[in-house]
Chains A and B, each alone.
Chain A
Amino acid sequence: MIYNRTKANSPRDKAEQIGIVVHPETLRKFQDGHFNAKIGEYCGILYGDGAGMLFAQRLWQGLRRPFNKTLNEEDIFIYMFRPACTFTYADELEGSPTKVEAPRNAVFLAFVELQSSNAEGTLLNWEWVLADDDQLPENHQQRFMKPIW
């Protein structure tokens, strides 16, 4: 069973927490496509014991995307993590995911759309990305609008 709710520090005030819900279409696509590594990353890193996203080390606001008129790019927040390992499922999505070696020279990002209430966010996607020399996402200055913390 995949728990689709977790929590994270609020982009508005790091001392506060917001609820995070995984976008159902994201989860459906990863499950239907048998992307067990993606499901494992969510369960092992972002969900963890129910508070995995509280381990985020950096946060940016705003995702630069081309030709997208349906998304308010400033409502997207990018949480960055440096997990010591990653996770996957060998076959069935049952029980706990299996720990595997973290990808080389990479950091882990989670993309969250903040809802208008500011009390809840929708987790849209997550992935490992190549890191620069400062152990930050490669080209983050061009990809993200501004750092929050």
Chain B
Amino acid sequence: MDMMLYVSEDCSYRASRVDMFLTILLHPHEDRVVGIKLKGVRFLFERVKAILKLSDSDFLPLVAVLEVALTAALTASMTDASDGAPDTLTERYAEVRSIIGGVDVPSEEWQPALQAA
């Protein structure tokens, strides 16, 4: 499946969909974020690589991928409000920046052949 999982705690998280790209992963019993799931990673990967002019061997900053996802989600929300208002989307994305700040992902983890999970 075309997605990437980042989890900061090993627990049975509760997934809560934000929009077509971002799903927030909540602690099983507390109202706090323990991770994210990004969908459409092939699309996001190609755009981040082009914007940052990265090679196939570089690490991708996860927060940059999130920014590209937010931009695409905001654009989509202008034509289809089913994923929420732009202000709400921006707030939900801001919630997860703190837990993924500084996380870099090796490029090979974004390659299509490895995107089974």
Contacts and interface: CB of A to CB of B under 8 A. Distances in A.
A93 B13 CA distance: 19
Given A26-B117, A71-B1, A103-B28, A66 B12 contact: no
B15 interface: yes
Contacts of A106: 14, 28
A88 B9 CA distance: 13
A149 interface: no
Interface in B68-117: 82, 112, 114, 116-117
Contacts of B13: 37, 103, 127-128
Interface in B1-26: 1-3, 5, 7, 10-17, 20-21, 26
Interface string B28-61: 1100000000011011000000000000000000
A128 B21 contact: no
Contacts of B20: 64-66
A127 B15 contact: yes
Interface size class of A (residues with CB under 8 A): 35 or more
A25 B114 contact: yes
Contact of B17 (A23, A26, A128, A139): A139
Nearest to B6: A33
A71 B40 CA distance: 11
Nearest to A76: B1
Contacts of B17: 129, 138-139, 143
Given A25-B114, A103-B28, 8 more contacts: A41-B12, A70-B112, A86-B12, A102-B28, A124-B116, A128-B13, A129-B15, A138-B16
Interface of A: 23-26, 29-30, 33-37, 40-41, 64-68, 70-71, 86, 88, 100-106, 111, 124-125, 127-130, 138-139, 142-143
15 contacts: A26-B116, A30-B117, A36-B10, A37-B13, A41-B12, A64-B20, A65-B20, A66-B40, A68-B2, A102-B28, A106-B28, A125-B3, A129-B14, A129-B16, A142-B82
